[in-house]
Amino acid sequence: MNEVLLFARIQDEVGQKSLEADLAGKSIKESKRWVEDNYEVSSLTRTMVAVNEEFAKDDDVIDEGDTVAFIPPVSGG
């Protein structure tokens, strides 16, 4: 199982700050698609993902017990 942390608009769209999911063995790209499909969030194409507090690339694979954070681009002034 993996703890999934959600930030900004993703948190708003899902209605939760975090969730538990079995993402072990999935790539970052696959995990983005999983969140989009299961929680009907807006596209995560431009969303950064961190695994265990380090930014990850789309082809990196998530391990059992990893903490995964979805961090969308934020704008403001």
22-32, pLDDT tens digit by residue? 999 999 999 99
Query: Any idea where the domains of the chain sit in the sequence?
Result: 2-71
Q: Is the dihedral of CA 27, 44, 72, 21 positive or negative?
A: negative
- Tell me if 5 sits within 8 A of 67, measured CB to CB: yes
Gap between the Cα atoms of 77 and 53, Å rounded: 26
Give the right CATH number for 2-71 from 3.40.50.720, 3.10.20.30, 3.30.420.40, 1.20.1440.230.
Answer: 3.10.20.30
What pLDDT does residue 74 have?
79
32-76, pLDDT tens digit by residue? 999 999 998 999 999 999 999 999 999 999 999 999 999 999 766
